[in-house]
Amino acid sequence: MSKLSKPTRLLLVLAALAAVALPAAGCGTTDADPERGRALFVEKCGTCHAMAQAATAEGLGPNLDRAFAAGRAIGQTDDTIEGVVEAQVAYPREATHNPAASMPADLVTGQDLQDVAAYVAMYAGVPGAAPPKVPGGPGAQVFASSGCNACHTLAAANAGGVTGPNLDEVLPGQSAATIDESIVDPSKVIAKGYPNVMPASYGQELSPKELEDLVQYLIESTSGKGGGNSKG
């Protein structure tokens, strides 16, 4: 018998996981919040998994659009994918080729897990899926698409994240160059009282124009007096 191709093996694994997950996960959870799930996904999963609707880039983990597009092609429904995601997160498998790339246990649990699973099930592998459009110009769009609202509070963006500093409080008076550096090299200066969890990949994920738009938006929306041009 010929060896199965990698895509075929992936589909078989997904189908097997779905068969295990569906009875326990309670597919089609009615109280799940996919919008909240998106913010959690960007914060908790976006450094490892690419997904077009979340505007996240590929890292250590699989590209979820590619993985679930294959599943959808053989008839997996949103409910099935939701069950697969819940099972994979609740019972993560060790990456034998690189243990450091293994998904941590209890990355999200309870309602958070339901929301993330519902979000992934709604958008992963869906043709044409893209980040939601927001008002406020190109910089506001970069802020929203990059998931900054998941971690930061910014009144202009109706963002209330608390994982990172409140931008309305810390940005006024900072220069464009300083704000730019805090985005592309977030580990250089860690805000007191906050974890060092901001991805260091924005310098590669954002184009120079997107970075410049984001910096200008942050200056204007926080009434900052930053001068000069951003390094982007």
Torsion sign, CA atoms 74, 33, 44, 172 = positive
Q: Which domains does the chain possess?
A: 6-123 (1.10.760), 138-221 (1.10.760.10)
Question: 111-151, pLDDT tens digit by residue?
Answer: 999 999 999 999 999 999 988 889 999 999 999 888 788 78
Quickly list DSSP for 58-94: --SS--HHHHHHHHHHTT--HHHHHHHHHHHHHSPPP
pTM score of the predicted model: 0.61
Question: 158-203, pLDDT tens digit by residue?
Answer: 888 888 899 999 999 999 999 999 999 998 988 889 988 888 888 8
